[in-house]
Amino acid sequence: MTPRPRKSLAQYWLKREDILQKIVQAAALNPADSVLEIGPGTGNLTRYLLPQVQGLLAVELDSKLVQFLRKKYGHHSHFWLVEKDILTLDLQAQLQQNPTFPPPNKVVANIPYHITGALLRHLLGSPSRPWPWPFQRVVLLVQKEVAQRLTASPGSKIFGALSVRIQYLAHCTWVCDVPASAFHPRPQVDSAVICLTPRIPDPVAREPRRFEQWVQQGFSQRRKMLRNALSVAPELLIPILDQLGYPATVRAEAISASDWVRLCNYLCDACGKQLANKPQIHNAKMQTEC
C-alpha cells in the first residue's frame, strides 16, 4: 500500500509523467553517471532514474517511505537508500560506508519547499564557503517564485541577493513550469524545474566575505541608490560605478552578478589604498566604512 503524503514534511507527489520525463532529460544522464536523489517519496522519479545510471543514492527522511522504497527498489544492486535528513548528510562520510558505490556527480530532486534555501547552501555552498563536492549538474523542482529569483536577470524587480549569490556559483536555467495540478495532494503554489550547473566563478571575488556582505547590504534597501545603501564612501564608489558603465544613481538590482564581483574587487582595492594612505589611528574606522 502506497503511504499517504504527510503535510508535516511538506510531501507532494509529482504525478505528471511528461514533467517527470522533462526532469530526467534536464539531468542529461548517461550510463557513467551516479545520481543523488533527495526525497524520493514514493519513487515516481526514481523509476525513471534507475535504468539510466550506474548508481542512485536516495536520501529519504520518512521511515514509512524508506520501508516502501526498499520493497519497491531494494533488489536493484545500484540503488542505495539512506534514511536521513539531507541537510545533515555528510556525503563524504556516507560514501566511506559503501566504498564500492560510485560517488554522485549529479543531483535530481523534487524537494520540500521550506528547505530550499538551506538545501541550495548544502549543495552549492556559498561564495565564501564553496561546497567541496562540486556536482556537474543539479536539477531541482522548486516553488515557482524561487525559480524566478534564481534565474532572474539584472534590472528585474525579482533580481536580488539570492540571484547574485547563486549565479556566482552556477549557471541557472529554467527547464519548465509545473502547475499545482501536477501534484498529489495539490499545493497552494505553482512550481518550476530549474537546472543549476556549478562552475568556477569568473571573475572570482578576491574577498568573498566582503562580497557577500556588500551584496546583502546593497539589496537590503532596494529603493535606495547603491551609493546610499552601501557603507562605502561615495567618492570611492561612484568612480568605480562609472568605470563599470553604471550611473551614480544606479540601484542594486541593475548590476549583473559578474559586475557585482568586479565592483567589490575594485572597492577592496580602493579601500586598501585609502587605508594605506591614512594614519594607523584611523584604520579601524576606515575598515568599517569600506
Q: What is the C-alpha to C-alpha distance for residues 232 and 219, in angstroms, rounded to an integer?
A: 14
Q: Is the pTM of this model over 0.85?
A: yes
Per-residue model confidence (pLDDT) at position 10: 78
Q: Please provide the distance, in angstroms rounded to a whole number, between the alpha carbons at the two ends of the chain.
A: 61
Q: Please give the average pLDDT of every successive group of 10 residues along the chain, which has 290 residues.
A: 76 93 98 97 96 98 96 96 96 95 96 92 91 88 97 96 96 97 94 96 94 95 92 92 97 97 94 58 46
Q: Where are the alpha helices (DSSP H) in the chain?
A: 17-27, 46-49, 63-73, 91-96, 116-124, 144-151, 161-169, 208-220, 226-229, 234-243, 257-276, 283-289
Domains of the chain are: 7-198 (3.40.50.150), 208-289 (1.10.8.100)
